[in-house]
């Protein structure tokens, strides 16, 4: 089995350095990556900082220790199916909220700065630039509203997923 085959069976895989990865351990309920994976001389080395043994880890994946050697065939003659990364919808919603907050604050600061501004002494070129900045501030405010709506949609979807999971 190759390292790519093994990594495709794990959740939350992150590259740490050349030949080193971390992932959520499949042998215990792991919310943050506690499994360290290394490839050294055709062998895959596993270490769970949560205390799981290599046997428990490979067993949870439906593998044997011998499968960690790259010259070992894929078990049962099957190619592993890569797991799709499950999006954390609450995290995605938070990111949209932060983007919205950034745009909203930028717009408010700009509009407040030009609120009592007297542009009588500006050249036509400077007045055009000022108008473009103000237009951008209004666009940022509109975009912030849109991003907040998207964040709300993601939060609602996460809520429905959570309630459906608990109801089942």
- Mean pLDDT, residues 54-74: 78
Q: Which residues pair with 24 in a beta bridge?
A: 11
pLDDT at 84 over 70: no
pLDDT number for residue 86: 73
pLDDT tens-digit readout, 119-136: 889 999 999 999 999 999
- Mean pLDDT, residues 1-26: 86
pLDDT tens-digit readout, 35-61: 999 988 777 889 999 899 999 998 888
> Residue 83: which pLDDT band, with cuts at 50, 70 and 90?
low
- Mean pLDDT, residues 22-43: 87
pLDDT tens-digit readout, 107-120: 999 999 999 888 88
């Amino acid at each position: 089995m190759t390292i790519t085959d093994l990594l495709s069976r794990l959740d939350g895989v992150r590259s740490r350095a050349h030949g080193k990865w971390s992932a959520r351990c499949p042998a215990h309920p792991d919310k943050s990556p506690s499994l360290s994976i290394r490839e050294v001389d055709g062998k895959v080395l596993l270490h769970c900082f949560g205390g799981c043994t290599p046997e428990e880890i490979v067993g949870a994946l439906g593998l044997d220790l011998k499968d960690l050697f790259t010259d070992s065939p894929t078990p049962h003659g099957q190619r592993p199916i890569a797991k799709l990364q499950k999006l954390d919808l609450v995290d995605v919603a938070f990111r949209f909220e932060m983007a919205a907050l950034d745009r909203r604050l930028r717009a408010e600061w700009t509009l407040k700065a030009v609120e009592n501004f007297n542009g009588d002494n500006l050249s036509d070129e400077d007045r055009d630039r000022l108008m473009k900045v103000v237009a951008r501030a209004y666009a940022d405010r509109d975009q912030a509203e849109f991003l907040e709506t998207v964040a709300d949609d993601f939060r609602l979807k996460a809520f429905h997923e959570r309630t459906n999971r608990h109801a089942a």
